[in-house]
Amino acid sequence: MSNPISPDVYAPEDLSMLRVINAARAKGATCKNADGTTRTFAPAGVVTLEGHLQRAATWHAHDMNARNYFTHIAPAPAPHGAAPIDRVMNAGYRPPNGLNTAENLANFTDNPTGDAAIAQIVTAWLGSTSGHCQALMDPASIDIGIWQENGNWATEYAAPL
């Protein structure tokens, strides 16, 4: 694991994940829901790495690794916020009219930063019935933070309202 020098400095694996996510968004997707229904997304614009979201993703991936859990809601004490929106706002992403946010997580400990692993993670999100595909494909999302620590990936998507 490396530590970011500033919230706007990105690791090579962050940039690789960003490329794969944006390639998937450019194709469009049909996302499945747990109840068997689907939602089709047309190709969506790119998401751009954003420093505050990067900080929130770093916090969550680090906390999951340090305290050995894997979930969107951090157990108490949650040093940076229990829920994704709390972490995003505590990291300083606070558009004046509010925000939409979503979070995708992955745990991939076998060569977690290789291009093949990153492609597998994005493919799994696109095939998920738990909202991961919708989070990735939401055309309203314009910003993203990405971080991985020891195979614990966190991606924070957001858009100002």
**CA distances for 48 relative to 19, 131, 141, 158, angstroms:** 10, 21, 9, 10
In this model, does residue 31 exceed pLDDT 50?
Answer: yes
Segment 34-68, tens digit of pLDDT: 999 999 999 999 999 999 999 999 999 999 999 99
Looking at residue 3, its amino acid is N
SS3 breakdown of the chain: % helix, strand, coil, rounded to 5?
35, 20, 40
pLDDT value, residue 114: 83
Task: Give residue 149's pLDDT.
Answer: 92
- More confident site: 4 or 54: 54
Residue ranges of the domains in the chain?
A: 46-154
Tokens of 17: 């994940």
pTM of the model: 0.92
Instruction: Check the CA dihedral 113-119-120-121 and report its sign.
Output: positive
Quick: pLDDT tens for 119-130: 999 999 999 999
Mean pLDDT of the residues in the chain: 92
Fold for domain 46-154? Pathogenesis-related Protein p14a (3.40.33)
